[in-house]
Structure 1
Amino acid sequence: MPKQDGTATRVLRALASSDSSVRLRAALAVGTSPDPQLIDTLIERCAVEPDFSVREMLTWALLRHPPALTVAKLTDELRSERAQARSQALHTLSKVGDRRAWPAITRALLTDADDEVARSAWRAAVALVPAGGELEVATVLSTQLGRGGREMQLSLSRALIALGEVVMPILRAATVDLDPRVRVHAVATQRLMRDPDAGFEFAIEAAKRVVALGPDGREGMTPGVDR
């Protein structure tokens, strides 16, 4: 894609095409020939692009530009009212891996009401957390135990496990939480830490049995846990 006046306009037009293949080729072209003038265009499109493959190509195109030019613009997107803008900016920042973005990974993002934003924030936090900050992140993430369905819970478990041994006392405390969903999720995460090959479904089902038996080994101790 030639670099000349009006390029950004043409790229934006191509990225807004109703044909996803046209949008994909446009994003590929920008990444193949990076142009700092098109960074804003790429970020703006990330906020609204409906196709997953095109979004991934937009992220790749942004990664082809120097972090010094993209990180500040991406962190600005984290304040957007549009959930996809926040989610995609977090996803891209996690790929960039530049810790200058770390201060922008706030508790509000880690607990965002939108599931995709929260999941992206968890991944970004794990990728960007500076040494010594793992406990703070794990403490915030533990407030999300029991949230959502299987995919959401698996994402959180993976994030917690990636933070390392610092999460173990937090998980132990969560195993006696008043909410049975939190207890099950905590126990399942502990099991995955010990045996990563066990699989999340197996870990959840095993955790349900453990929680249902209760601390003294008798059934019926935790009403509300699906069997």
Structure 2
Amino acid sequence: MLIGDVARRSGVSTRVLRHYDALGLVRPTGRTVGGYREYSAEDVRRIFHVQSLRSLGLSLKQIGRALEDPAFTPSALVSDLIRWTEDRLARERELLERLRAVDASAPTGWQDVLRIIELMQGLDSPSAARRQQAVLAQPEGGSVPAELLAEAALAESDPNVAGALRWALARSGGDGVAALAAGVHAEDAGIRRRAVRMIAETAEASGVSALLADALGDPDPTVCRYAALGLGRRGVREAVPALVGMVVEGASDVEAAEVLGTLSRDPTRADEITSALARELAAPTADSATRIRLAQALVELSGATGQDVLRQLARDDDPAVALVASAFVTVVAERSPEG
């Protein structure tokens, strides 16, 4: 079968067939009297083998090795192909995300596009200092999309860079809360912590309280603490049990006590909070350090009920607790209008 017939039947151009011949990949078995290439049935089958392997993404060099080397195992080849394909797809997904980020910024000129690309390249740097610099270098009123900043913030483990990203996200003008919402339900606890912390620190916006309330039931204690502090600062009373628990555990207890103090300014909640602290004081598992932290939380509360509990603690059987409570009673008396 001459080269033209092979090309018509196989769908492989004569130019490609000549290239295969030059590489020694598929050489025709014979030649006509006139010197034309003449392919046998076995040659044609080899052409189809080459095309099949090409469709899997192999290079011609790899195909030649696969066809000629008896020790070349298909399983090893397929494993390599899977790894190369996964790497290529990852690069293409990254490119797609970058294109979407640029598109979301609604650029008005090439300068906007280049600025976003420069930021993304800076955020890819292995150097935390370089990543932070890339964020802080963005001009006021820039058009960086909130989605890009939120994605970077959720993935950022360095506290300084994360802080810079939170700052940039807050001034981006976009819906940062919506961009962070997906992180609240991430499998990685670290991502959930970063998402809830940033949402809790966000100025009041639609959906914030609902997201924090959802995070209040998270299995990770740190996520729950961030959610409780965020809800408490927004005046949500459902955060009270978690905030009292933080005081008991000594986990961000000073912040928790301050938030409880803010909540207690509402007279309808002051007694509720004081009662919750008093119950923990009376718990048989409350050691001296725990009861001192609870006394410190009582100092922050508004209303007379908390002061009454402190006066009782000033006569406590535990000398350390009694001493601290006595000092707090004096502090509270000095700051009160009647003091």
SS of the equivalent of 1:66 reads coil
**Deviation at 1:102?**
0.5
**Deviation at 1:121?**
2.0
| Equivalenced residues, count | 194
Residue 299 (structure 2) aligns with: 191
What is the CA–CA distance in structure 2 between the aligned matches of 1:179 and 1:208, rounded to whole Å? Answer: 20
Residue 64 of structure 1 aligns to which amino acid in structure 2?
R
Q: Is the 8 A contact 1:20 1:54 kept in 2?
A: yes
Residue 124 (structure 2) aligns with: 16
Any gaps of 5 or more consecutive residues in structure 1? 195-206, 218-227
Q: Deviations over 1:161-200 (max 9, x none)?
A: 2322422232222221232155443223113447xxxxxx
Residue 240 (structure 2) aligns with: 138
Q: Which of 153, 162, 174 is the equivalent residue of 1:46?
A: 153
Q: Is the 8 A contact 1:59 1:92 kept in 2?
A: yes
**What is the percent sequence identity of the aligned residues?**
19
Residue 3 (structure 1) aligns with: 112
Q: Deviations over 1:61-91 (max 9, x none)?
A: 1011235x22222222211223332233233
Residue 163 (structure 1) aligns with: 263
CA separation of 1:214 and 1:22: change in aligned 2, threshold 3 A = closer
Residue 105 (structure 1) aligns with: 212
Residue 243 of structure 2 aligns to which amino acid in structure 1?
L
Matched, 1:127 2:233: yes
Q: Deviations over 1:11-48 (max 9, x none)?
A: 23211212222211211234634325x32221122123
Q: Is the 8 A contact 1:47 1:82 kept in 2?
A: no
**Deviation at 1:104?**
0.9
Any gaps of 5 or more consecutive residues in structure 2? 1-109, 303-312, 323-339
SS of the equivalent of 2:111 reads coil
Matched, 1:175 2:281: yes
Residue 2 of structure 1 aligns to which amino acid in structure 2?
Q
CA separation of 1:80 and 1:176: change in aligned 2, threshold 3 A = same
SS of the equivalent of 1:32 reads coil
Residue 19 of structure 1 aligns to which amino acid in structure 2?
S
TM-score, normalising length: structure 1: 0.68
**Deviation at 1:114?**
4.1
Matched, 1:147 2:249: yes
What is the CA–CA distance in structure 2 between the aligned matches of 1:187 and 1:176, rounded to whole Å? Answer: 12
Matched, 1:28 2:102: no
**Deviation at 1:214?**
11
CA separation of 1:96 and 1:214: change in aligned 2, threshold 3 A = closer
Q: Which moved more, 1:47-56 or 1:103-112?
A: 103-112
Q: Which of 62, 82, 86 is the equivalent residue of 2:188?
A: 82
CA separation of 1:139 and 1:170: change in aligned 2, threshold 3 A = same
Residue 197 (structure 1) aligns with: none
What is the CA–CA distance in structure 2 between the aligned matches of 1:189 and 1:31, rounded to whole Å? Answer: 43
**Deviation at 1:94?**
3.1
Residue 229 of structure 2 aligns to which amino acid in structure 1?
R
Q: Is the 8 A contact 2:196 2:215 kept in 1?
A: no
Residue 61 (structure 1) aligns with: 168
Q: Which moved more, 1:6-15 or 1:56-65?
A: 6-15
Larger radius of gyration: 2
Residue 69 (structure 2) aligns with: none
Q: Is the 8 A contact 1:141 1:156 kept in 2?
A: yes
SS of the equivalent of 1:158 reads helix
TM-score, normalising length: structure 2: 0.48
RMSD over aligned CA atoms reads 3.4
Q: Is the 8 A contact 1:42 1:62 kept in 2?
A: yes
Higher relative contact order, structure no. (Cα contacts within 8 Å, ≥ 6 residues apart): 1
**Deviation at 1:99?**
4.1
